[in-house]
Amino acid sequence: MTTAFGSEPRPPSQVQPPSSPDAAHLLTVVVCVVTVCALYFAREVLIPITLAILLSFVLAPVVGLLRRLKLPQVAAVLLAVMLALSAITAIGSVIGVQIASLARDAPRYQRVIQEKVATVQGTVFGQINEFSRRLNNEAAVPSEAPPAASPPATDDIPTLPGAGTITNGEARPVPVEIRPAESSALDLARTFVSPVLGPLETTFIVLIVSIFVLLQQEDLRDRLIRLFGSHDLHRTTEALDEAGRRLSKYFLVQLLVNSCFGVLVAIGLFLIGVPGPIVWGILAGLFRFVPYVGSILAAAFPLLLAAGTEPGWSMVIWTAALFLITEPIIGQVIEPMVYGHSTGLSPVSVIVAAIFWTWLWGPIGLILATPLTLCLVVLGRHVERLEFLDVLLGDRPALTPVQNFYQRILAGDTDEALAQAETLLQDRSLTAYYDEVALKGLRLAATDLERGVLRPEQLERVKNAVSGLVNDLSDVADHDPPEKVSRKSEAAPLDASMSEKAVAHVPAPDVPLPPQTGRKGAWASDTPVLCLAGRGPLDEAASAMLAQLLTKHGLGARMIPHGASSREQVGRLDTSGVAMVCISYLDISGNPAHLRYLLRRLKQRMPGVPMLVGLWPKGEAVLSDAAQAKAVGADYYTASLHDAVTSCLKVAAAGVQDPATAAAVLQEASSDGVPE
């Protein structure tokens, strides 16, 4: 697109064929494959280090609290680690004692469960057989018991010692029993110590690494800044601060929430009478680190034990009710309150991450899946080359509202576009929605049309979808939302190129108008503003939005297509009651001489009527100020619907009847900071 008057129009852009993967893309694939292989084959080393880093995130707030109590850094770190070690030791001891107690009664639980399974099977199969007989109209025939087989006659004959036993004339061999040799003390120690040696070794490594990470956290931060972002200290510091703050809060809060869940489960199982309530409460808190299926796994063992404790089913029912009530309360009420309604991960990414990390690191990977994925998302939000991690795993929308709007109208889905509009209108005015979403989306369509990728049937589909959307929004009032509405727009800007202030504080036009009967001249007519579409195929949609907004603010407007202003048709144009003309363009490519000639025809047809040119959206205009607007014969120029509506309301309120006075009024309004 040209950016100055008088320049030659550039030729239409050609759609380039897709390029083959270059070396950079192939290198990215190789790096990903090597990284996954390294994570898999080095899991024995990486798992303890990862656990140590995550533990340091959990203990960092505790260390900070102890430092605020005037403890030295070394003492604060050692005390925090000792507290963690004490908690881990206490939990392990309780689990061991409880499981040993349950193991003694395991045969009794197994017998009761088998009896219940046999009863359920008999009942179910009996009902199935009865239903089958009813379908076949057969009567139940009692089955006869098979005759008992008589034991074979034996004629035992004493035999000589060592010769075996002779039964029915045949010799039976003597069974031989092989007994193992006596185990030495070393073998016994190896048998009982080996299973616990691995976990103890991992725990020792985790604690040692955690201590050094907590002691050297400032030094590690500086080294990361030097390694990854010394050229952009502001961005790198912000990324590290957000990562540390967000991860520490998430891990600590998740630990507290899951601990509360375990305590509630333990108390409930104790009141119900399920054996070993403490161990099941601890396991419930640990299993809840596993996303989605953790609570189901935590409930499986208590339900099985409740079924084996008593012959009836009341304990099983109460245990199931405990988990069915506790989990929704924790997951749907408590977690949204403490997490701020979102952990930053999409539900699909949590499931995929759980499968991926379980495949890599086994059960430990299943527990660490969510924390590790959250670390990757935070990394992707601040490292440009890793942005794909945030897109794939994060919960932020993949498309901006502008892109989503264009994608929906390109598909002809007016209903979904309307649903998006209703959501965005909860915290912004209709004018702001049209300016910041709809017109920018139409600009994307105009760009695709210029590139030659928008087919005629797609263009027609876009025009119909936008027309339907504007008609559906005809009943929506254009006003600023109340202050109590959530500040969702400030947290998530509509477009990466727009600042929060530009998104959150675009006000609706607010210019008081006198009653229609009290207005001067042509402004007292029913439709004093004539909204003329440019010659682009999508300019009619922009003109329809402007006409709708003017009508909502009490200033009648009618929209006419560009063909009505052609040299052949302009003489038949109905100009009765027109006090101002607004011309809408989404794009002006090349030399805008046609606009100058259009304004000349309109001024000849409607002498003395102010002419306003609007080129949407702001920032894409070739007409940058009022002086350039004068160059094509316009009385005023605007770059947003908000400015266009405000300008019309200002001129109407002043009752201006000639272009010179209108320009003066608009210039004064511009100096006041209302329109640009």
Are 525 and 663 part of one and the same domain? yes
Are 489 and 576 part of one and the same domain? no
Residue 163 has pLDDT above 60, yes or no: no
| Percent of the chain predicted with pLDDT > 90 | 6
State the Cα angle at 125 between 122 and 128, rounded to 5°.
145
Are 371 and 419 part of one and the same domain? no
Query: How sure is the predictor about 151, in pLDDT bands with cuts at 50, 70 and 90?
Result: low
Cβ-based neighbours of 470, under 8 Å, separated by 6 or more: 541, 544, 545, 548
Tell which wins on pLDDT, 116 or 89: 89
- 215 lies in some domain: no
CA distance to 50, 56, 257, 394, 585, per residue, from 249 (Å): 17, 12, 12, 18, 50
Are 553 and 539 part of one and the same domain? yes
The CATH number for 471's domain is 1.10.1240
231-242 pLDDT per residue, tens: 666 667 776 776
Give dist(CA 56, CA 252) in Å, integer: 10
Cβ-based neighbours of 156, under 8 Å, separated by 6 or more: 165, 166, 167
Q: What are phi and psi of 582, to 5 degrees?
A: -120, 120
446-476 pLDDT per residue, tens: 888 888 888 888 889 999 999 999 999 988 8
- 415 lies in some domain: yes
Are 420 and 504 part of one and the same domain? yes
The alpha carbon dihedral of 194, 195, 201, 204 has a sign of negative
CA distance to 50, 334, 473, 580, per residue, from 527 (Å): 70, 56, 20, 10
Give dist(CA 324, CA 330) in Å, integer: 11
Q: Which of 365, 396, 427 is the last residue of a domain?
A: 396
Q: How many domains does the chain have?
A: 3
Tell which wins on pLDDT, 359 or 104: 359
- 491 lies in some domain: yes
Q: In sequence order, what DSSP letters do the residues of 498-518 get, joined into one string? A: S-HHHHHT-PPP------GGG
pLDDT at 150: 53
Are 384 and 408 part of one and the same domain? no
Residue 597 has pLDDT above 80, yes or no: yes
Q: Span 570-594, mean pLDDT?
A: 80
Are 351 and 405 part of one and the same domain? no
Tell which wins on pLDDT, 187 or 641: 641
Q: Span 147-154, mean pLDDT?
A: 52
pLDDT at 668: 61
- 297 lies in some domain: no
Residue 445 has pLDDT above 60, yes or no: yes
Query: How sure is the predictor about 619, in pLDDT bands with cuts at 50, 70 and 90?
Result: very low
Give dist(CA 494, CA 489) in Å, integer: 7
Q: Is 210 exposed, middle or buried (0-12, 13-18, 19+ CB in 10 A)?
A: buried
Q: Which of 361, 380, 396 is the last residue of a domain?
A: 396
Least reliable range by pLDDT among 257-261, 502-506, 569-573, 640-644: 502-506
**What is residue 197's DSSP assignment?**
H
186-217 pLDDT per residue, tens: 665 566 566 667 777 888 888 888 888 888 87
State the Cα angle at 278 between 273 and 279, rounded to 5°.
110
Query: How sure is the predictor about 182, in pLDDT bands with cuts at 50, 70 and 90?
Result: low
Tell which wins on pLDDT, 124 or 494: 124
Residue 175 has pLDDT above 70, yes or no: no
Give dist(CA 23, CA 28) in Å, integer: 9
Residue 643 has pLDDT above 80, yes or no: yes
**Residue ranges making up the domain that contains 437:** 398-508
Give dist(CA 595, CA 106) in Å, integer: 90
Are 525 and 639 part of one and the same domain? yes
Whether the Cβ atoms of residue 475 and residue 446 lie closer than 8 Å to each other: no
Please, what is the average pLDDT of the chain? 76
278-297 pLDDT per residue, tens: 888 888 888 887 766 777 88
Tell me the three state secondary structure of residue 142: coil
Tell which wins on pLDDT, 194 or 527: 527
pLDDT at 468: 92
Are 662 and 526 part of one and the same domain? yes
593-602, long-range: CB < 8 A, 24+ apart: 594/535, 595/534, 595/632, 596/631, 596/632, 596/633, 598/565, 599/632, 599/633, 599/634, 600/633, 601/565, 601/567, 601/570, 602/532, 602/565, 602/570
20-79 pLDDT per residue, tens: 556 776 787 888 889 889 988 988 888 888 888 888 888 888 888 888 888 888 899 999
Residue 618 has pLDDT above 60, yes or no: no
- 324 lies in some domain: no
Q: Which of 466, 481, 508 is the last residue of a domain?
A: 508
Neighbouring C-alpha atoms within 13 Å toward the C-beta of 249: 13
The CATH number for 576's domain is 3.40.50.2300
pLDDT at 503: 41
pLDDT at 170: 57
- 219 lies in some domain: no
Query: How sure is the predictor about 622, in pLDDT bands with cuts at 50, 70 and 90?
Result: very low
Q: What's the first-to-final CA gap in the chain, in angstroms?
A: 22
Give dist(CA 660, CA 668) in Å, integer: 12
Are 429 and 405 part of one and the same domain? yes
Strand order in the sheet with 611-615: 557-560, 529-533, 580-585, 611-615, 636-638
Q: What are phi and psi of 157, to 5 degrees?
A: -115, 125
- 494 lies in some domain: yes
Are 437 and 582 part of one and the same domain? no
Kindly report whether the peptide bond that precedes residue 537 is cis, defined as omega within 30 degrees of 0: no
Whether the Cβ atoms of residue 462 and residue 410 lie closer than 8 Å to each other: yes
pLDDT at 531: 92
394: β partners: 345
Are 524 and 628 part of one and the same domain? yes
Tell which wins on pLDDT, 391 or 499: 391
CA distance to 237, 245, 606, per residue, from 230 (Å): 10, 21, 64
576-586 pLDDT per residue, tens: 888 889 998 88
Q: Span 655-664, mean pLDDT?
A: 66
- 193 lies in some domain: no
Q: In sequence order, what DSSP letters do the residues of 12-45 get, joined into one string? A: PPPPPPPPPP-HHHHHHHHHHHHHHHHHHHTHHH
pLDDT at 196: 64
